[in-house]
Chain A
Amino acid sequence: MSIRATNKRLRSSIVFVVVVFALLVARAVEIQVVQGAEYADRADRQHIREFDTSAKRGVIYDRNGEELAVSQRMATIVADPQMVEDAAAAGAALSPILGVEQGVLTEKLEAGGRFVYLARKLDPTVGDQVLALKLRGVAVQPEEKRVYPKGSLAPQVLGFVGMDNVGLAGVETQYDEQLCGESGRRSIIGDPFGRTLGVLFDRSGREGDSLVLTIDEDIQYAAEQELLSVVEHYGAKGASAVVLDPRTGEILAMANVPLFDTNAYGSEEESVRRNSVVTDQFEPGSTFKMVVVAAALEAGLVDPQTTFALAPSITLYDRTVHESHEDVPAVRNMSATEILAQSSNVGAVTLGLEVGEERLVDMIERFGFTRKTGIDFPGEAAGYMLPREEWSGTTIANIPIGQGISVTPLQLAAAYGAIANDGVYIQPHLSKGAPLRPSHQAVSPEVAQQLRDMLLVTVAEGTGKAAAVKGYSVAGKTGTAQKAADSGRGYSKDRFTASFIGMVPAEDPALVVLIVVDEPTLEYYGSIVAAPAFAKIADFALKRLEIPPTIAQ
């Protein structure tokens, strides 16, 4: 072959290579410049995923820094149905891992749109298993889940959050704004199999603020265990308890039985989920006699020693009120202190008549009954009493013995809290560190002291003996109230609310404890059913708070 022919071939080859290269360059220019934006857009849509990162919800602590509610990072499985090549196969592969029916998953994967949740808030190891499948169009996103590490402690108080971490009940909803924080936003480049290749931007959310409750985990637990024991022993429908620091209005325990695991809140019945202490009303019965005695003392109509001659019953129009026990003499001389200590119905009605409607209603309002306490908890009931202008002639015979009026356990505890706190009523609350709570003088310090002394006799010598706590002086009052009949008229003969409320140490009360037992069947007197539970809870709380004994043994 001649040199000339060789050169010609070489030139042809060079021209060919240059032309091919030029074509490639032209194509590259077309792809990167002419159609670059379109391709980039298509690529972005396939590889870039943008989603909200749920804000970490604030921790809820008890008063001693014990975590009652925390958040945990979980794995949420999502998919882009347009990128899924074989929905049926993907559904079949995911079903056993996610624990979701194959048909449900396939249906979701065949749906339109570019985003679908397949399963939310699963264990992170499940997320790893899903990624290992390398399914095109299926990805794993982190999501926060609310966890209640103490299980069944104070479930009705804590409440719960929904799937989107929004508080739906209890303090979770009351303080939702504080706890929820702000969601972040993250944009990632992912491969088709859900793995993250790069992060385009990550705007961090704001973690929710924490919340410190006034609740003491140990006292709460002790109260709940005692209520469980009472409900089981007396065959009761349920029970509630409040432990209140009367000097500050702080609630140390707010217990309701039956209990349930807070982590399974959503699956429980509404009746069990209710925080009865705040949302349920009951006729207080004899625990309400304190109010009429307070009104009489405050008006200067009686002193603790003022004596009344009482018959076994008293009739007002068509209403006859009897003593609760039948073995009562024809005439009894009872002091105001004894009326309270022996829980005399006739004595309370007699005092009510002395006091009169106006002063009685005034005292009821001063103790905060018939209006919400304003506690930082949702759904509070206000209690109920007929407006005074609608009172019949016999209403004055009902109210002094705690009938014809309904109150919440919290209202009752707060009212006794005022007596314990030298007559100063302080709004009860659940959040520690909240601004100073509203307060007012319900009764004078002198009357509060007289009432404490009278209630001391109730426990020492009267119906509340079973509430005595070794080493401490206890002032308190028993209550046994018939429940309204199902017919709506009159009272049931066999359904009762047994209660006891007291304060300890009586000289300078640090605790007010209320026990309410709903429909006990074995026994129904507050002195038998509720008073011993008071003693146990108060004893535990006193030791827990390291309050030294006040009575030398």
Chain B
Amino acid sequence: MTLTLAFSLLLPVALNTLLVRTQIDIAQLQRQQDDLVAQRSDLRAQQATLSATQRVKETADRLGMVTPTEVGFIDLAGAALVERDVASVASGGDADGR
């Protein structure tokens, strides 16, 4: 009788212990997930910062690049060069002016 009572009282303790252990595991996984989500946010912000026009321009300036003074447009319908100075485009001028 006493042993049964003791067993019935100790069983919840054991179950609680198991439950807590599982919860700790879940909490760890949750923390990992949170960390990864935070990392993703960080990387996203970093990527956006690095691709900022200002930074790209500063980097380009540092590397000695210049904005092309002439930009050529090719009229595909008429197969004609609308504006001259292909050389500046061919030598690295970016048509979108970035």
Chain A interface residues toward B at CB < 8 A:
18, 21-22, 25, 28-29, 32, 56, 66-68, 70-73, 124, 142, 147, 149-153, 188-189, 196-199, 202, 217-218, 221-222, 471, 540, 543-544, 546, 548-549, 553
Contacts and interface: CB of A to CB of B under 8 A. Distances in A.
A240 to B, nearest CB: 19
Contact of A202 (B30, B46, B73): B30
B83 A471 contact: yes
B57 to A, nearest CB: 8
B38 A221 contact: no
A22 B2 contact: yes
A471 B46 CA distance: 39
Contact of A72 (B2, B41, B82): B41
B17 interface: no
B51 interface: yes
Contacts of B83: 471, 548-549, 553
B44 A67 contact: yes
Contacts of A196: 27, 30-31
A29 B8 CA distance: 11
B2 A18 contact: yes
B48 A124 contact: no
Contacts of B47: 67
Given A70-B44, A196-B27, A543 B71 contact: yes
B79 interface: no
Contacts of B46: 149
Contacts of A18: 2
A22 B75 CA distance: 98
Contact of A221 (B9, B53, B73): B53
Contact of B95 (A217, A222, A543): A543
Contact of A546 (B5, B9, B38, B95): B95
A553 B41 contact: no
A60 to B, nearest CB: 11
Contact of B82 (A66, A149, A549): A549
B26 interface: yes
Contact of B37 (A73, A152, A199, A553): A73
Contacts, number: 106
26 contacts: A25-B5, A67-B48, A70-B41, A70-B44, A73-B41, A142-B34, A142-B38, A149-B46, A149-B48, A153-B52, A153-B54, A188-B27, A196-B27, A196-B31, A197-B20, A198-B20, A199-B23, A199-B26, A199-B30, A202-B30, A543-B97, A544-B98, A548-B82, A548-B83, A549-B73, A549-B82
Interface of B: 2, 5-6, 9, 12, 20, 23-24, 26-27, 30-31, 34, 37-38, 41-42, 44-49, 51-54, 57, 71, 73, 75, 82-84, 95-98
Contacts of A25: 2, 5-6, 9
Contacts of A189: 20, 23
Given A32-B9, A189-B20, A222-B97, 10 more contacts: A21-B2, A25-B2, A70-B41, A70-B44, A72-B42, A73-B42, A199-B26, A218-B97, A548-B75, A553-B84
A544 B96 contact: yes
B45 A70 contact: yes
Max chain B CB contacts within 10 Å: which of A124, A147, A149, A546?
Answer: A149
A218 B9 contact: no
A544 to B, nearest CB: 4
B49 A149 contact: yes
A153 B51 CA distance: 13
A150 to B, nearest CB: 5
Nearest to B5: A25
Can you list the 7 inter-chain pairs with the closest CB atoms, starting with the nearest? A198-B23, A73-B38, A149-B48, A67-B48, A543-B97, A221-B53, A149-B49
A25 B1 CA distance: 12
Contact of B9 (A22, A28, A153, A199): A28
A265 to B, nearest CB: 17
Given A67-B48, A151-B52, A124 B23 contact: no
Nearest to B41: A72
Contacts of B12: 32
A176 B83 CA distance: 46
A254 B70 CA distance: 26
Contacts of B53: 150, 153, 217-218, 221
B80 to A, nearest CB: 10
A18 B95 CA distance: 93
Contact of B41 (A29, A71, A153, A540): A71
A70 B20 CA distance: 36
Contacts of B49: 149-151
B2 A221 contact: no
Given A21-B2, A70-B41, A553-B83, A149 B52 contact: yes
A196 B83 CA distance: 66
A188 B24 CA distance: 10
B19 to A, nearest CB: 8
B48 A197 contact: no
Contacts of B9: 25, 28-29, 32
Contacts of B52: 149-151, 153, 217
B75 A197 contact: no
Given A21-B6, A151-B54, A549-B82, A72 B38 contact: yes
Nearest to A200: B23
B92 to A, nearest CB: 15
A546 B23 contact: no
B45 A221 contact: no
A152 B58 CA distance: 14
B24 A198 contact: yes
Contacts of A72: 38, 41-42, 45
